Structure 1
């Protein structure tokens, strides 16, 4: 009887787990293994002829691809500024949104709504704003800032993409930090106030350390999303002007679908995956070590 029950539970476990295992294999494991093979081939992504060339794609990427280097520098600069500014603004908004005031729920929703809108739509809306909308604002105000070429100038295009990225995502991270702030024990904050620890001093000494689990999650997501930035660049500048806003993902896209070098683009993708993995593992381990318990 015991053996029968044991095998019955195993069969039941297998029935429920097998569909998930099959889905993971088909959607993640098998494509990853196939991409490892394609990264060592010369293929245009369409033709039947696939030529195996070993590690030549990786050698070219690491030794002579200047476009990849420029894209890497742009992506790292964008990621650094986007992660820092997004999380700082999100924490400030979260602190404000946990205060008791009228229409607090409406303000929370208004900050969060841009995150649930497709980035493609966001990009087209802001492209219209930067090109047509600012002309109207300039006509109404006369301010020269609205006459600048926000998408045509290499320096301004970077800040335009950064602004749109922060505007679109900050509400999501604000909600993460609101959840973290609500989990901070009220009696601990009250005890700190009685001891004279108030204002910014209480925030940095008590609240912020207890907020580290939320910071860990928010940093992990914001770093990964910033490194993978594509939609906004695709709709706003398509990597221009002159490749000034060409990110790693945009560079991979161009190699695969513009230059028809599918094998080489796959090699870039694998290296990019390793880069994201290394950066996020370092970040998670560092922030985890700073977490404290109430």
Structure 2
């Protein structure tokens, strides 16, 4: 077999220069496509360019690893601060409910999930940030620090009311109370009036039963004298007006206590069935005070 030209030696000739023969051409096919440098200066230049490219590659990998570590450390620090604030702050679950759990709480798991979400978003958004940096624009805020923005929004949502929101709520409550309170008190007064009128009619039936049995009202007594009769502070006291006659009577329910200033005043019922209110039994009936 003929020897290869000296300006394109095969790998066997470069390894053993004293050998005059080479392996078959198939073994040196991949070296035949790239001619070897002919001078030491060319070899040195090739080596220096390869070393420079290798250093650039190493620098890019090193900067990428540093960026990843920095983003992860920021996300972890934010998650730790969030967990500390949620576990010991004024709105924490432990402070309000006294829950001391062993192991990871729900807030801790939430912080871990938020940190993982932030890291995933930072990985997906790294290419966009690199493109923005090449274009001379700063990176997007939601890709800086991993899950910081997600946890900040969550903490802002759980932070409570602002002063303006609290003042608006208080103003709305004051308007509602100012409108509803008079109506509420009037309904309470009406219910107490109805209770007193019902007691007067019940006592009137009791007196009529006594008259049917004995033929006179003179010996009749009242089974109760206040409304309501089963609590210490009554709203009305019931009594006879004047002396009890054998053939006539008049009952009066006078407001006391919280009903002392009621505009309807006292309620009257006579043996003839006449009803009245105010300061005398001869007053005309007011439909606003008496219920049908």
Relative to the length of structure 1, the TM-score reads 0.20
Q: Between the two structures, name the one with larger relative contact order (CA 8 Å, sep ≥ 6).
A: 1
Relative to the length of structure 2, the TM-score reads 0.20
